[in-house]
Structure 1
């Protein structure tokens, strides 16, 4: 065998090996297209499409740090601090009956590292004016400051509600389960029912609300009217409520009147002084507190305070509130309370 034959044989062998490797080569698969999150602008800002669906989702909430001050704010201490985390998920999609809405609000309060409570703050379904689930009633609405007490402490119920809306006007009726009412002295132990109704709206610079509620367990009811109007550098707010007896909707007193004036001092700073009078207050002492209520008394209460709101930067706020309360049962029966709050919204 000469050199020429050896070279030709080696070349043929290499060609065979190269052909086998080419035949067995692995072909990389085409990468799947990535579905990026799409903005959904049909329901306002902050919504995006859940990938693979036509449902729009919005995630929002806030982080709050607060220091409370007042007599025995925490045991024998006159001050106490706590932190709260709140997250709300809102899902919306179009149907032949209008938007189908679902809302879930999760909340955790931490008084300290070992004392924390997580709970479902709201969860409801809403379509074509009908709402069913756990949500706050119209009685949870109030004036903008921190002085007024215009409802019982329990304003969150499992309810079924219908609300008609047309422009700036609304009217509705709600059937509420009052199982968690605080009226242990009057019953309300389990599965009691309340009926609430309300109308409200806006007319130019004026807004108004008129609501009523009837507690079938106590056989007592309450009505409340509230209105605001823009005057000068701020907004004047007035409210009044009356109850036939302590009930799950209003228990603070037989009747009450409240007023405030929210002064928009600057674009970022608001000052809200307010005052409220309670005639024939509930037994148990301080209004706006949880207590066992059995009847109204002949005790009258005055309450006054001021709330300061300041926007530090966008989505970051500071609030300070100081409240004074005096009962007519004694010459020196008055209390002071207040808080300072920092809150970051997102």
Structure 2
């Protein structure tokens, strides 16, 4: 074998080996994992997205709020002791709150499976930091179970568009419940709710017999008419409310709601927190522009035997400075006949200012 043949053979061998190694290198390179993007879910409204790898839609939101108030009444200021001379001084009432909310939804063969939670963290003067779980319920179709607010309050709707909508209280809130809502799809709906009452309160059930709420509603573009009845299983008392909502036009809406309970003493009825047998709430909202809405509401309760009735008025302007940021100045006037008129806060004006960023 001559030198030329040896060189050519060696070169061929090197090329073959290099080619084999190159082929092997190509075979062992790992393919990139497919990227999974977050998909928008528009089935339940704005803000939902699919949880990756599932068909469950999730929305996360809430608000940050700052309140301050002065004057008399439950939405006014308060009295503190002067730290130098021990005298009594009036001062602001202030509170900051963070509310975190979650919504989920999944379509199933038995209807929509959904959940809702709300946890609040707030810092209040003279109290400090507080945490509360306000909602944590599961719903399948019309069946709901978990921590909620009483159907006696939520089914007819909160009283009005003012912040101080409960100068005369109109129902209980915190409770565990099992409820079923029937929606006929033609504007008619009805609800039955079995409730435990607020934990640790005088209204929490003391046996296996729950409180019972039942209601019916008919709603359309014109407004709604609603009736609801609540039976307190602890004190064996009942109360009822009827409400009419009217959408006068695109700018103006009005409502009136009346309540009646079987016991004069508010201590002994979960569903009649107002004083006396009957009470009424009425108000309205007028939308001046895309940014500004005027709200007003008046409340009156019969009062306990031997006392004058309780009443209050509240009015505000809800102004959206930029999208998602609201400033709400509100003024209230209260006159509680069940409190001696000489007592502090029994009668007078209060001023309230709220800043709220929704997200």
Indicate the TM-score class for this superposition, using the shorter chain for normalisation.
0.7 to 0.9
Structure 1 residue aligned with 2:83: none
Distance 1:18 1:263, change over 3 A: closer
**1:298 pairs with 290, 299, 307, which one?**
307
- Give the gaps of 5 or more residues in structure 1: 282-295
Q: 1:123 aligns with which of 111, 136, 150?
A: 136
Does the CA contact (< 8 Å) of 2:205 and 2:234 recur in 1?
no
1:133 equivalenced with 2:146 (yes/no):
yes
| Alpha-carbon separation, structure 2, partners of 1:60 and 1:267 | 22
2:87 is aligned to none
Distance in 2 between the 1:153 and 1:200 partners? Answer: 18
Aligned counterpart in structure 2 of residue 173 of structure 1, from 192, 196, 204: 192
Question: 1:337 corresponds to which residue?
Answer: 350
Which of 115, 131, 134 matches 1:102?
Answer: 115
Distance (whole Å) between structure 2 residues aligned to residue 263 and residue 23 of structure 1: 76
Maintained 8 Å contact 2:205/2:233: no
> Greater relative contact order: 1 or 2 (C-alpha under 8 angstroms, separation 6 or more)?
2
* TM superposition shift of 1:38: 1.1
SS of the residue corresponding to residue 302 of structure 2 reads strand
Q: Which segment is superposed worse, 21-30 or 207-216?
A: 21-30
Alignment of 1:39-188 (within 5 A): 39-71=40-72, 73-74=77-78, 76=80, 77-111=90-124, 115-138=128-151, 139-140=153-154, 141-149=158-166, 151=169, 154-166=172-184, 167-180=186-199, 182-183=201-202, 188=204
2:282 corresponds, among 230, 247, 259, to: 259
Matches of residues 191-340 of structure 1 in structure 2 within 5 Å? 193-231=210-248, 233-245=251-263, 246=266, 247-254=269-276, 255-281=278-304, 298-328=307-337, 333-340=346-353
> Is contact 2:291–2:320 with CA below 8 Å preserved after alignment?
yes
Superposition CA RMSD, Å: 3.2
- Structure 1: distance between partners of 2:336 and 2:117: 40
* Alpha-carbon distance in structure 2 between the residues aligned to 1:21 and 1:128: 62
How far did residue 338 of structure 1 move? 3.4
Residues 100 and 126 of structure 1 are in contact (CA less than 8 Å); yes or no, is this contact kept in structure 2? yes
TM value normalised by structure 2: 0.79
Instruction: Please identify, of 296-305 and 187-196, the stretch whose mean Cα deviation from structure 2 is larger.
Output: 187-196
Secondary structure of 1:105's counterpart equals strand
Instruction: Give, in angstroms, the shift of residue 270 of structure 1.
Output: 1.5
**Residue 108 of structure 2: SS of its match in structure 1?**
coil
Q: Say whether the 8 Å CA contact 1:179–1:190 is kept in structure 2.
A: no
Alignment length, in residue pairs?
A: 328
| 8 Å contact from structure 1 (residues 181, 248) kept in 2 | no
Contact 1:324 1:335 in 2 (8 A): yes
